[in-house]
Structure 1
Amino acid sequence: MDESSAEKRPQFGNRFLENADEVFKHNAWDNVQWDEEQENLAKEKVKLNSQVNFSEGDIKSLEDEADKHWDAFYDIHQNRFFKDRHWLFTEFPELAPDNTSAPVRVFNESDEKQSENKPQNEPKPTDGNTKRQIFEIGCGVGNTIFPILQYSRDSNLFIYGCDFSSKAIEIMKQNELYDTNRCEVFVLDATEQKWNVPFEENSLDIIVLIFVLSAIDPSKMPTVINNIKKYLKPGGLVVFRDYGLYDLAQLRFKKGRCISDNFYARGDNTRVYFFTQEEIRSLFKNEGFLEEQNLIDRRLQVNRGKMLTMYRVWIQAKYRKPL
């Protein structure tokens, strides 16, 4: 590829479909808007796959044995299922502020207006010797933590991670990138009222929630957010990304896999919830967080080989604990 064509190629997060005839030109398109017909079709699919629910006994079993289902998942897939999230620094540059290689994400102007608070509540910059602590809830096998450690060379950065699955933590610790001088991971059920963690309350700069809250029973989500607030330092930030209502994954569910509204059990009995912006807003604002970002990220993924289009819907948000 020559330099001129490379310059014209949009970077990740900046590729917009302006001509529908060019849909198969690339593998993905950003900020794709839905029309009323597409929205109605999605609603109808969800209505159909929500008709048959699990029994109360089945629901209790899914909750009581949730850790076993995730252990079985990681026992089968090891570290091969999820890809490392190198897109993190385009979406959340706060995770590695010394990484300047990632492009800046461009959102629709209407999406930007949904944020009520700009980062004016961010703590004042400190000197270069100040320790910076990040904690990821639901770290899995390290697909977020390892990229941060690779891209950020900040010697004062330390990353904690926890997961519900002891198997996931075991696999992560065996990875050659796992450096105990820079990170520590442990098993934790984040829905517990009291956390047993290796750091103090009001001590964390950033807490990461990426495709993890959706795996939790909706009735227990407020407990997680309450504990997040306890351990974030004043001015600390939560970065959030998870499944949105009418995402492709929700539309693909068959009858009989629905637990409750927008909450499903996959074939392997791991669970997943699909959020609206308003639900995320309520969860965090009820705990006094300030909203800096809350938007719907609609992406069109394309299988050019099979000429298929797949619409993904994610909620992305940032919430800050008041100073």
Structure 2
Amino acid sequence: MAAVTTAAVDAVSSPDLELAKQTSALTVQETTPEAGTETKTAQLPPHRSHDPQYNMKRSDPFMFGSRYLDQGDDVFEFNAWDHVETDDAYKEYSEQQFAMQRASPVSEFDKNRFNSDPARFWNLFYKNNTANFFKNRKWLQQEFPVLHRVTAEDAGPQIVLEVGAGAGNTAFPILANNKNPKLKVHACDFSKKAVEVMRSHAEYNTDLMQADVWDVASEELPPGVEENTVDVVLMIFIFSALSPLQWEQAVRNIHRVLKPGGEVCFRDYGRGDLAQVRFKKGRYLEENFYIRGDGTRVYFFEKDELARIWSGVFKAGAPTNENNNETCDNAPDSLPQEPSTTKEPQLFDVEELGVDRRMLVNRAKRLKMYRCWMQGRFRKK
């Protein structure tokens, strides 16, 4: 089951590296019994087995793994379980943490500092963490079958746009598995350092890939990308790096570059994820939006919230100034709850939108840790 439990940890193109290291160490390890040694592995259902011979691999793009925790199971039998709802103790602890975070928000000075130039902090992040990126993440094509189609030998001309943070994390694996001689991958990031790292990568080939600096929430389109030309857009742990004030422009930009019927492959953080719950004092910007210790920003999404955003239902009356210094507690109208009444066509059909919940277990310390990610496929109307 290692392929299932490590997939999302490997996917983290964000500065939760320490958390990722801690959780990745808890991954179920595949073991093969020594010759002549009898084990109970073979008697286990495939999704409960450590043995690679019986270990089920994911095929459904919204299956998220298949190790279910049934009533009567020993929680500490394995290191990870899929599709596990948080228990009452964790929910109570989370709410206590959220209350503490709201009571001790980021200072007004720091809020302006972090919001005024987010790319600066991502540049520093990539400068310090270059070696942690550009791994071959095989889970991408398991979760998003459209990547099999565009990389097939007979797929014909295809354009894939990957949008950072951490662009290249999906672009290079796509190229590694590509059999389509007419595929072109554009990898764009708002961090100059990330683009430098991509261009210096041993597998960077300008015949197949183009890496550029581009802010998805700007008013410009990516260099070399025209409207209505892109087949697939990959947004893997990037939307959470944006301020809520940037969401609308970002979604409209993605809508502009995609062909009619083009697809967005999306994965990001969900509300209540361990990374959110663990934030201490002085990290809260506004509801579900935080500053990490390295100065990068991260948002934790609700499922219904994402469905509204990608359908094109944006909040009415939200400030347009990215450097607005009001928090949700001090200015309840900054993110109003009423949807916009503007009569506009729906931007995307929400084809799939799921919540990937996973419980990681530290068997030595008898601890349970809950991870939560959002995953979706959105198709341009």
TM-score above 0.5, yes or no: yes
Aligned with residue 213 of structure 1, among 226, 239, 245 = 239
Which letter does structure 1 place at the counterpart of 2:303? Answer: Q
**Higher RCO (C-alpha under 8 Å, 6+ residues apart):** 1
**Structure 2 gap ranges (5+):** 1-31, 34-40, 43-50, 59-64, 313-345
How far, CA to CA, are the matches of 2:157 and 2:150 in structure 1?
A: 14
Aligned with residue 293 of structure 1, among 340, 352, 355 = 352
Is 1:265 aligned with 2:291?
yes
**Deviation readout 1:86-117 (Å, 9 max, x if unpaired):** 211221121223889xxxxxxxxxxxxxxxxx
Match of 1:159 in 2: 185
How far, CA to CA, are the matches of 2:150 and 2:185 in structure 1?
A: 15
Match of 1:73 in 2: 125
Aligned with residue 280 of structure 1, among 306, 321, 324 = 306
Match of 1:190 in 2: 216
Summarize the alignment of residues 117-132 of structure 1 with structure 2, pairs less than 5 Å apart: 128=154, 130-132=156-158
CA pair 99-197 structure 1, distance change in 2 beyond 3 A: closer
Which letter does structure 2 place at the counterpart of 1:149? Answer: L
Which letter does structure 2 place at the counterpart of 1:308? Answer: L
- Number of residue-to-residue matches in the alignment: 296
Match of 2:267 in 1: 241
**Structure 1 gap ranges (5+):** 101-126
Aligned with residue 97 of structure 1, among 149, 154, 157 = 149
Query: Are the counterparts in 1 of residues 268 and 374 from structure 2 also a CA contact under 8 Å?
Result: yes
1:254 deviates by 0.2
Deviates more, 1:68-77 or 1:149-158: 149-158
Which letter does structure 2 place at the counterpart of 1:257? Answer: R
How far, CA to CA, are the matches of 1:85 and 1:51 in structure 2?
A: 39
Match of 2:375 in 1: 316
1:189 deviates by 1.4
Query: Are the counterparts in 1 of residues 151 and 183 from structure 2 also a CA contact under 8 Å?
Result: no
Is 1:231 aligned with 2:257?
yes
Query: Are the counterparts in 1 of residues 264 and 379 from structure 2 also a CA contact under 8 Å?
Result: yes
Is 1:255 aligned with 2:297?
no
1:31 deviates by 1.4
1:44 deviates by 2.6
Partner secondary structure for residue 123 of structure 2: helix
1:146 deviates by 1.2
How far, CA to CA, are the matches of 1:47 and 1:239 in structure 2?
A: 33
Aligned with residue 86 of structure 1, among 115, 138, 143 = 138
Structure with higher Rg: it is 2
Which letter does structure 1 place at the counterpart of 2:220? Answer: K
Query: Are the counterparts in 2 of residues 46 and 246 from structure 1 also a CA contact under 8 Å?
Result: no
Aligned with residue 195 of structure 2, among 169, 173, 178 = 169
Which letter does structure 2 place at the counterpart of 1:211? Answer: F
* Root-mean-square deviation (Å): 2.4
Which letter does structure 2 place at the counterpart of 1:164? Answer: F
Structure-1-length-normalised TM-score? 0.84
Match of 1:134 in 2: 160
**Deviation readout 1:140-183 (Å, 9 max, x if unpaired):** 26221111111222222211110111111111111112121211
CA pair 302-73 structure 1, distance change in 2 beyond 3 A: same
